[in-house]
Amino acid sequence: RFCGSDGPNSVEITSRRGLKIWFRSDRRLNDVGFTCTATVAGTVVTQPPVVTNPPSGRCVCGKANRGTRIVGGQTTEVNEYPWQVALVSRGSNGVYCGGSLINDRWVLTAAHCTQSGVSQVLLGNHLQSQTDSAERRINVKRVVDHPSYNSRTLDNDFSLLELTTPLNLDSVDPEIRPVCLPTASNPSQYENVPSVVSGWGTTSAGGNQPNALRDATVTTMSNSQCSQSYGGGAILNSMICAASPGKDSCQGDSGGPLVRNVGGYFRQTGVVSWGSGCADSRFPGVYSRVTNAINWITSTSSSGTTCAPP
């Protein structure tokens, strides 16, 4: 027990039952207060905070290169979605999965796209049949699947690709620009809203892939509504569904972005994951819910430099 100026100094206590510290005042005098510092050594390991490099000076995220075109089930403008990434085999322009650029070093895609490895990605491309002027072909240094990815249920169907060469987003043309990530504070704000999905996937189940990048506007929904279509516990918390009459993602779109326009710029809400058929009115498209994995995404990709919304 200590009182007044008679206080503890460098007191060491060994106990496995914990330590309680009380401060009791008789309330007779007002004074400047007191300080007490207690530290624990040898039993608690504190994880360092995740440090994300701050936004760089001039680059912006989520800004589309769009004129007056109305979005929905058709060919996009050239480099309209500058965060769109194509996963390709070495030396080929044939797109087998999509992805999205989230900072200068990392691409977000679906884990089911990476199980056989990923060698290269294309950024700034529009047509599969040719090399576009803004196109960048970059090797993939590392593939990081979500630690809770389940290949059977497609739970947490996320993968991050680290590029061998980081992009200088302050100097590259606007044909290459990252998408903004969502906030995790209120995931429900991304339900029941129009969203855009883009990719080089087939335009019908079992059909051919288009030459040019296409997009479609779909509307997201709650998981309870989506479960009415799929049933059997297929729709998990790591998923979000979206649908629109005659519009959907399809084969080859996997890993690509589902984005929402938020005040003139786009945040990514989903990653194309799975579904029953394509544009089947009975079955919505199923996407991996980005807000559900946002902490893993930001911590894993923290070596990259982010861009701020416009």
- Tens digit of pLDDT for each residue in 228-281? 999 889 999 999 999 988 777 877 889 999 999 998 999 999 999 999 888 788
Asked if residue 253 lies in contact with residue 208, where contact means CB atoms within 8 angstroms, the answer is no
Tell me the residue type at 181.
L
Q: Taking 90 as the threshold, does the pLDDT of residue 296 lie above it?
A: yes
- How confident is the model over 157-167, as pLDDT tens digits? 999 999 999 99
Beta bridge partners, 109, equal 159
Encode burial over 36-53: b for 16+ CB neighbours within 10 A, e otherwise.
eeeeeeeeeeeeeeeeee
pLDDT tier, 306 (very low <50, low <70, confident <90, very high otherwise): very high
Distances (CA, A) of 82 to 131, 135, 180: 16, 11, 12
Which residue has 């008679």 as its token pair? 6
User: Any idea which of 24-28, 37-41, 282-286 has the lowest mean pLDDT?
Assistant: 24-28
Answer with the residue of higher pLDDT: 3 or 252: 252
Select which of 100, 254, 273, 301 is catalytic: 254
Residue ranges of domains in the chain, CATH in brackets:
74-300 (2.40.10.10)
Asked if residue 301 lies in contact with residue 160, where contact means CB atoms within 8 angstroms, the answer is yes
Q: Taking 80 as the threshold, does the pLDDT of residue 300 lie above it?
A: yes
Annotated active-site residue 254? The verdict is: yes
How far out from the chain centre does Cα 279 lie?
24
Select which of 100, 104, 112, 146 is catalytic: 112
Select which of 104, 126, 155, 157 is catalytic: 157
Tokens of 229: 């279509």
User: Within a 10 A sphere around the Cβ of 134, how many other Cβ atoms?
Assistant: 17
Annotated active-site residue 112? The verdict is: yes
Choose the most confident range, by mean pLDDT, from 193-202, 204-213, 218-227.
218-227
Tokens of 39: 């530290």
